Amino acid sequence: MEVTEKVRKKQMRKVALASIVGTSIEWYDFFLYGTMAALVFPKLFFPESTAFMGVLQSFITLFIGFLARPLGAIIFSSYGDKIGRKAALVTSLLLMGVSSTVMGLLPTYDSIGVYGAVLLVILRFLQGIGVGGEWGGSVTLSVEWSSKKSRGLMGSMTQLGVPIGMLASTSIVSLCIFLTGDNFGVWGWRIPFILSIILVFIGLYIRLGIEESPEFAKMKKENRTAKSPVLESIKGYPKEIILAAFTRLADNVPFYIYTTFAIYYATVHLKLDKQFITNAVLLVSVVFLVVVPLSAHLSDRIGRRNITLAGMIMTLAMAFPYFYLVNTEEKGLIILATMLASVGPAVVYGPQAALISEIFPVHLRFSGSSIAYQFASIIAGGLAPTISLTLLEKFKSTTAIGTYVTICCIISIIALTLLKPSEKRVLKGADSSEVSQII
């Protein structure tokens, strides 16, 4: 059945809303854990460790979620490429929400000893599986409902879930710190996790109202869905998956350094106020909210690769100045550093959904893009706080961390250069105008 332009536009609006709300809720839960890992988890779940080891163990549990994300991508993308994008999205949202809510009810080390940490790791792993299945489905549905000239902008609706989710989680944590005071480390930290269940019901209500994309519906009707989409993606597009993953180093590594490691560094090493630094981190979200859709829109006009490369260069340029400004301990300069350092990663992140999803054909799009995107979670963001902590401990200087960010940006630039779309590979049946937008 042919979809009219009126129906397409109506569904585009619904899918855009569902993408923003659904991914915002999932990232709220995912980022909430990162903030708590820096603020309270070391004392709550690893109290018998030294200060350094407690934080290191806490950041390792943070990494568990990133380690699970590729598994979530494999599970949900296989399901999404064979049965449907919508069903996979509803399931992933439920898994994330329930895991986060239960996390807020966990007994700590004082109650059940090491088993509290074990349960924390299990729930973090389930969070990772949930968010691993979220991105590919949301992006695929957004891109497939969009017009050819607005794929970048529509894909960025999913990307907006990151800043909104982080803005919501950081705001609620900051509010809870203010309201509960000294009790935040005792019971106040539980409130943001328990609130997840309310957000999940809102997200489910919206997501159940969207329809399957016309491209997938047609493919399924004609019985052209892939039998083993994950294996076919890995076998048919190994180079594209690896290169796409490495392009994410330039935004993913600095993002988690500036939002997770920075909280630990500023509060523990610089002795800055927790309230101030959590509020400062909110600025990362504000910058992303403005820059992500703008850079995505520009990518529809002047090319994904051009915009992405510009963002990578901006990120590289701020690798050392960021910590130089933060180390002054001047609040105004810290705010300036946070805002300036956020622009580059946001520019990279804006067109990323379209850039990655357009590499793969319809029958493998969910699987290929999910695997590429989530594989980066292991090599990039997941390890960034742990590597940064280790570098700081070894070299006693943030210069090593700046070098780490610089190297990641250079690798991403090389990967982007090697990732050269062609009409034959990008989209089966794509016209030349689509390819020109990508290049």
The predicted pLDDT at position 424 comes to 40
Helix, strand, coil percentages, rounded to 5, for the chain:
85, 0, 15
- pLDDT computed for residue 281 by the predictor: 83
Q: What residues have CB less than 8 Å from 333, skipping those under 6 apart?
A: 325, 326
C-alpha distance from residue 276 to each of 253, 283, 357, 391 (Å): 23, 11, 38, 25
b (16+ CB within 10 A) / e for 271-304: ebebeebbebbbbbbebbbebbbbbbbbbbeebb
Which of 259, 98, 248 is CA-nearest to residue 165? 259
Tokens of 203: 């997200």
pTM: 0.79
**Residue type for position 158:** T
pLDDT number for residue 431: 39
On whether the CB atoms of residues 44 and 107 are closer than 8 A, the answer is: no
Q: d(Cα 106, Cα 84) in Å, to the nearest integer? A: 34
Instruction: Dig out the tokens for 124 from the structure.
Output: 């973090």
Give residue 257's pLDDT.
Answer: 92
User: C-alpha distances in angstroms, 413 versus 89, 238, 243, 310, 375?
Assistant: 32, 19, 10, 10, 18
| CB-side neighbour CA atoms (13 Å) of 223 | 0
Q: Where are the alpha helices (DSSP H) in 160-213?
A: 161-180, 190-194, 196-207
pLDDT for 2 equals: 58
- Determine the residue type at 12: M
Coil/strand/helix, residue 339: helix
B/e letters for 239-252, b = 16+ CB within 10 Å, e = fewer, are: ebbbbbbbbbbbbb
Tokens of 18: 């569902």
HEC-encoded secondary structure of 211-266:
CCCHHHHHHHHCCCCCCCHHHHHHHHCHHHHHHHHHHCHHHHHHHHHHHHHHHHHH
Please report, for the chain, the start and end positions of each structural domain, with discontinuous segments joined by +: 5-438
- pLDDT (0 to 100) of residue 435: 40
- CA-to-CA distance for 226 and 365, rounded, in angstroms? 11
Query: How is domain 5-438 classified at the architecture level of CATH?
Result: Up-down Bundle (1.20)
Q: How confident is the model at residue 337, as a pLDDT?
A: 93
> 405, 315 in Cβ contact below 8 A?
yes
pLDDT value of position 430? 40
CA distance 137 to 331: 40
Give the C-alpha separation, 320 to 4, whole Å. 51
With contact defined as beta carbons under 8 Å apart, do 322 and 352 qualify? Answer: no
Q: What is the pLDDT of residue 240?
A: 92
At residue 305's C-alpha, the angle toward residues 353 and 73, to 5°, is 25
Record the tokens describing residue 47, joined without a space: 């109290």
Instruction: Mark the ranges of the chain whose per-residue pLDDT is less than 70.
Output: 1-4, 7, 84, 147, 226, 421-439
How many Å separate Cα 203 from the centre of its chain?
Answer: 18
Question: Looking at this protein, which amino acid is placed at residue 191?
Answer: I
At 421 the pLDDT is: 58
